Amino acid sequence: MKNMEIILIITCFITACTESKYEAYLEPIGVKDVTSVRISPNCTKLIADGISELQLEVTPYVNVTHTRRIEMIVNGKQIIKDSIFTTSTSLENDRISPSDIVIKTLNGEVIEDGTYRTNQGAGSTIEFIAIVNGIESKPCQVELIAPPVVDYKPITIPVVFHLLVPENSNEIFNGMTVEFFQKLLEHTNGAFAASLIHAPCAIDTKIKFILSPTDVNGEKLEEEGINRLDIGNMTQLEVNEYINKNLLWDPNRFLNIYVNPTTYQSSASGPQYVLDNGTTLAGFNLIPVSNTTEITWNNYNETGITLRASDVFDLADCSEKRLEYYIGLYYGLIPTMYEYYGAFPYINGDVDYCSDTYTYNMTTSIDKSTYRDSSEENIYFYSSYNIMDTYSKSSTITYEQALRLRTVMENCPGRMHN
């Protein structure tokens, strides 16, 4: 076999180049080079109440040419070849001015600042397009829905953080104070009340979380909402046994949150039981019971949320999972990220049985793209804000998610706080 040596050199032209064929590559890329445009709504539904806001994100694309010089030595003979490749890439924000972008409806109404709200047209759809340098996007379609008519009875849920403090671990647990947990619940309550942002499909769930002033026996807690316990040098198995024996406080009265330094990961499980009244919950095979007294609680996974101690201080920012995410899991909501081997199938455009949320591709960014299983479906880009998104602002709950939460709290023993 003849010997062949191939050397691939990727040439980057950062400084001035004497060869004229590369001069075009050195010219700044800007709005004049836009070849296509995409417009993305942050939801495909909008409550037409004049308050809820739809955010429209515009992504211009340009073609970028890459030159690769290939040197091939075959049987001692040198062959040099330049190959040119063209790829489409999004234009960076600093290369385009907002004034270069025009967003409007198909009827010609211009949308300022990419934000749209209306109190008209409920029951119809509206389409938006974006125009950059004369290049027009494909339209995106949004359904306008009537403001939901709800008459929810307010539900107040006392929360207890059971702090299992091992020996020589006071430093991390000392930061877990009443003030810290109160701040966490303020954000949670804002999301559940739809008061943090004017999201497209958010409503007030009438659900509020408070730090419990008392323990399971009605005695006043030394620290409001905190049950602080020294566990010495217990092993993980011993800690689990201790919780199951002593801390399965009635889940119909309290939201138990176990802060466990020995657990492998933070977790929460949805409801297991439902009153035998015909109620169902999509995605769950619930066990029907006639009343709450039929159930005996044996495991802390049934009665509360488990937080790894090292995760607690990440719950207050846009880290992977905020407190609202675990609360949502516990009360029957489903994560919105598509997982190929996930427990919930992708049906009719979503994995969480809520048509007013997006299903997104796995990412570690707040900026997400919607998942699609068909080339016929549109891909949309948006900044994440739902409580069941990971790496999210965790600022809102949609109307259909609220329906699930209320269904669980009114019909699922172990989650009934009404």
Does the pLDDT of residue 17 top 90, yes or no?
no
315 neighbors 186 (Cβ within 8 angstroms): no
Does the pLDDT of residue 418 top 80, yes or no?
no
Looking only at the bridges linking them, the beta strands covering 304-308 and 255-260 are: parallel
327 neighbors 310 (Cβ within 8 angstroms): no
Which pLDDT band holds residue 239 (cuts at 50, 70, 90)?
A: very high
Percent of the chain residues topping a pLDDT of 70: 91
243 neighbors 176 (Cβ within 8 angstroms): no
More confident residue, 268 or 81: 268
Smallest Cα–Cα separation from 309: which of 139, 413, 174?
A: 174
pLDDT at 391: 93
Beta strands in 168-303 (DSSP E): 207-211, 226-232, 255-260, 273-275, 287-289
- Please work out, in degrees rounded to the nearest 5, the angle formed at the alpha carbon of residue 199 by the alpha carbons of 195 and 200: 140
Average pLDDT over residues 381-394: 93
Scored b (16 or more CB within 10 A) or e, 179-198 reads: eebeebbebbbbbbbbebbb
pLDDT at 81: 77
Least confident of 10-19, 183-192, 266-275: 10-19
Which pLDDT band holds residue 5 (cuts at 50, 70, 90)?
A: very low
Domains, in order of start, for the chain: 4-145 (no CATH), 155-411 (3.40.390.10)
Tokens of 59: 């992504």
Does the pLDDT of residue 342 top 80, yes or no?
no
- 138-147 residue pLDDT tens: 999 999 999 9
Does the pLDDT of residue 26 top 80, yes or no?
no
Does the pLDDT of residue 2 top 70, yes or no?
no
At position 109, the amino acid (one-letter code) is E
76 neighbors 19 (Cβ within 8 angstroms): no
Cα radius of gyration (the chain): 27
Taking the CA atoms of residue 334, residue 283, residue 143 and residue 338 in that order, the dihedral angle to the nearest 10 degrees is 50
Does the pLDDT of residue 1 top 50, yes or no?
no
Residue with the two structure tokens 């030595």: 73
For residue 307, the cross-strand partners are 259
Distance between CA atoms of 254 and 304, rounded to whole angstroms? 9
pLDDT at 28: 66
Looking only at the bridges linking them, the beta strands covering 140-145 and 45-47 are: parallel
Residues 6+ apart with CB under 8 A from 367: 381, 382, 383, 384
Which pLDDT band holds residue 263 (cuts at 50, 70, 90)?
A: confident
Which pLDDT band holds residue 375 (cuts at 50, 70, 90)?
A: low
- 77-103 residue pLDDT tens: 888 777 777 788 888 877 888 899 999
256 neighbors 304 (Cβ within 8 angstroms): yes
Does the pLDDT of residue 319 top 90, yes or no?
no
Which pLDDT band holds residue 9 (cuts at 50, 70, 90)?
A: very low
Least confident of 13-17, 98-102, 377-381: 13-17
Distance between CA atoms of 259 and 256, rounded to whole angstroms? 10
Helix H or strand E segment including 25: helix 23-26
The pLDDT mean for the chain works out to 88
pLDDT at 320: 85
pLDDT at 339: 81
Does the pLDDT of residue 193 top 90, yes or no?
yes
84 neighbors 67 (Cβ within 8 angstroms): yes
Does the pLDDT of residue 121 top 70, yes or no?
yes
Most confident of 24-33, 63-72, 324-333, 341-350: 324-333
Chain-centroid distance of CA 385 in Å reads: 6
Q: What are phi and psi of 64, to 5 degrees?
A: -115, 130
Does the pLDDT of residue 27 top 60, yes or no?
no
Q: Decide: residue 26, CB within 10 A, 0-12 exposed, 13-18 middle, 19+ buried.
A: exposed
- 351-364 residue pLDDT tens: 999 999 999 988 88
Least confident of 134-143, 144-153, 309-318: 309-318
| Torsion region of 370: left, alpha or beta (phi above 0 gives left; psi -120 to 50 gives alpha) | beta
Helix H or strand E segment including 395: none
Helix H or strand E segment including 224: none
> Is the model's pTM score more than 0.75?
yes
pLDDT at 297: 94
151 neighbors 203 (Cβ within 8 angstroms): no
Distance between CA atoms of 379 and 252, rounded to whole angstroms? 42
18-24, long-range: CB < 8 A, 24+ apart: 22/67, 24/65
